[in-house]
Chains A and B, each alone.
Chain A
Amino acid sequence: MDFLYTYIVLAEIYVLLGLSTNLLVGIVGIFSVSQAAVFGVGAYIVAHFMMAADPLSFIPSLAIAAACCIALNILVTLPSLRVSGDYFVVTSFGIQLLATAVFINWTVGTGGANGLPGIPPPDIFGLPIETNQQYVLLCTAASVLGCLAFWLIMRAPFGRLLRAIREDETAVAAAGKNVLRAKVSAAALAGAFAGTAGGLYATFLSFIDPFSFDLDASILLLTMIVVGGARTLAGSIVGPFLLLALPQVLTLVDIPTTIAAAARQLIYGLLLIAFMLFRPQGLAGERL
């Protein structure tokens, strides 16, 4: 039963990340492979504040993490988005590699490659969250809130503006809208989602290491969106639940443990190619 709870909690955390990725990649059409880096920054910041000598409680730490991720995304996306979408590809690979370098090498702050153990469980206004059932409730609440926010944003004029940018940037600019500001706002919003997910992830596992937030993790996130379906709420929910089940299915097949990780990533790669060739709208999405 614990196994099922863990699966649900992780899938719900990834739903938040999926929303974040979908906002950037699906809705605005900006390619990003740095979502895992932002996710990691959120996780490490929450861990830092909750383990400090004078610890903060969960909600303020989460708020600080989300704010930092928003600021980070604004800072890094602003220069490259000003120029061209392709240059953002470089930015996003750059942030991802840079973040991994920081997570691994800044031993004082992040525990280095060994990771950061002993992150305390969260509490909601003094009410501690310790059992798995409580966790499922917390993460369900968080992901429902996330989905609601996503749905509302997509219905709002801002959401329509973002979709319009994806269709025809020049037309939007000609209509007098500030394209750059909208794109950077979308990136900031994606940062807030990813940062929150990071905080939930860190406190749930009580241990984080750099390898949960590397380029492979970013590719997994992208695969979730591509398989689930871009640009829709349903897609952002279907993708994480399906792809997180995949490692369990793989354990049924007899693969040597040494190549299990490579085999998993290989499947993600094949899924990306196959969906782009044959079904660019994913299972429950719209055409990319």
Chain B
Amino acid sequence: MLALQLLVTGLVTGCALGVVAISFSLVYATTKIFHVAHAGIYTLGGYLAWSLMTYRVPLALAFLLPVAACAVLGALMQSQLYARLERRRATHLVVLIASLGTLAVIQNIIAAVYTPNILQFPLNWSSRMVAFGPVRLNWTQLLTVAVSVAAYAGTMWFAHRTILGKRIRAVASNPMLADITRLQPQTVYVYVIAIASALVCLPGILVPLDLGLQPYNGVTPLLTATIAMIAGGVGSITGAFVLSVAIAVLQNLSLLVMPGEWSIGVTFFIFVIFMLFRPTGLFAAAR
């Protein structure tokens, strides 16, 4: 029964992770920036929601305002930092270092304002349990699954059915051609990072709702999500989501044989296996 419970918990964690992976994949496939600061936005979303909830702002607003704030921050990051670097023809490495610097800044502003200690959300319904036969889940976990699957479906619809979505995919597949045909890649990049930041804010609020907030907790989920993205095939939204779920399930099942501290080892092991045997990922588009 423990295995079943772990399997289900893995599915829940995997859904949340899947949204992180989708959002990172959007940024990486389009802008080619390895946007490490995404982990900072993930963390920031949760802290903003916590502040709003402690000031007793209505719950819906406490979810939506952080999402909007993260979108704005993401757009600013692209237009003020990455675009400037791009204009100076900065190398990939320079952009990466600047992104890492931004991550350090966001994390440590949070740590200075909210202290580095763990914070719990002041809600009483979030940890109430619901039993499904032998499996027990709390309301937060149910909400996480619902929101994450909706986010996945929404992203798929957005990417394939809307004009902006198609424009993003066009820029992702060939920035030079997109520039010539006046799709304005630089503007698209701002939209993409804003959308991705809004998306990553959802698991950024939902996961800490269950497990609590800590300022430096964003890096591990981002790393796991990145591995899922690579294993799924860069550019494939479905691949990123499915592989996130698979990795989270494997991580949770590994708890049967080893303590939880080593789960990062399991993730990394999966990454090395993929590097050795299928570096293009499972769902890689033909190139």
A residues in contact (CB < 8 Å) with B: 25, 29, 31, 33, 79-80, 82-87, 89-91, 93-95, 97-98, 101, 104-105, 215, 219, 222, 226, 258-259, 261-263, 265-266, 268-273, 276-277, 280, 288
Interface string of B130-158 (1 = CB under 8 A from A): 00000000000000000000000000000
Q: Which listed residue (B108, B267, B275, B276) contacts A265, Cβ 8 A?
A: B108
Q: Which of B57-65, B97-105, B246-254 lies at the binding interface?
A: B97-105
Interchain CB contact under 8 A, B261 and A272: no
Assess whether B100 is in contact with A272, with CB atoms less than 8 Å apart: yes
B84 contacts chain A at the CB level, 8 A cutoff: yes
* 8 Å CB contact of A215 from B34, B93, B219: B219
Please give, as numbers and ranges, the residues of chain A lying within 8 Å of B267 by CB-CB distance. Answer: 94
Tell me whether chain B's interface is mostly helix, strand or loop, or mixed: helix
**Smallest CB–CB gap between A283 and chain B, Å?**
16
Q: Name the interface size band of chain B.
A: 35 or more
- CB–CB B108/A89 < 8 A: no
For the complex formed, measure the closest distance between the CB of A35 and the CB atoms of chain B, giving whole angstroms. 13
Name 5 A/B residue pairs within 8 A (Cβ), A-sorted. Answer: A31-B34, A87-B279, A97-B219, A215-B216, A276-B85
CB distance from A45 to the nearest CB of B (A): 19
Q: Name the distance in Å between B77's Cβ and chain A's nearest Cβ.
A: 10
B97 A222 Cβ-Cβ under 8 A? yes
B94 at the interface (CB under 8 A from A): yes
Beyond contacts A219-B104, A271-B101: 7 other A-B pairs, Cβ-Cβ < 8 A, are A25-B93, A82-B275, A265-B111, A266-B104, A272-B104, A276-B94, A288-B93
Cβ-based interface call for B107 (8 A): yes
- Contact A266 B96, CB 8 Å, known A97-B220, A97-B264: no
Decide if B166 is an interface residue (CB 8 Å cutoff).
Answer: no
CA–CA, A85 and B279, complex, Å: 13
- Which residues of A have CB within 8 Å of B262? 101, 105
Cβ–Cβ contact A31 & B105, under 8 A: no
Chain B residue, CB-CB nearest to A263: B112
Asked if B271 is at the interface of the complex by the 8 Å CB criterion, the answer is yes
A270 and B101 within 8 A (CB): yes
Q: In the bound complex, how far is the Cα of B223 from the Cα of A94, in angstroms?
A: 7
Q: Mark B204-224, 1 if CB is under 8 A from A, else 0.
A: 000000000001100110010
Q: Known A86-B34, A288-B94; judge A97-B223 contact (CB<8 A).
A: yes
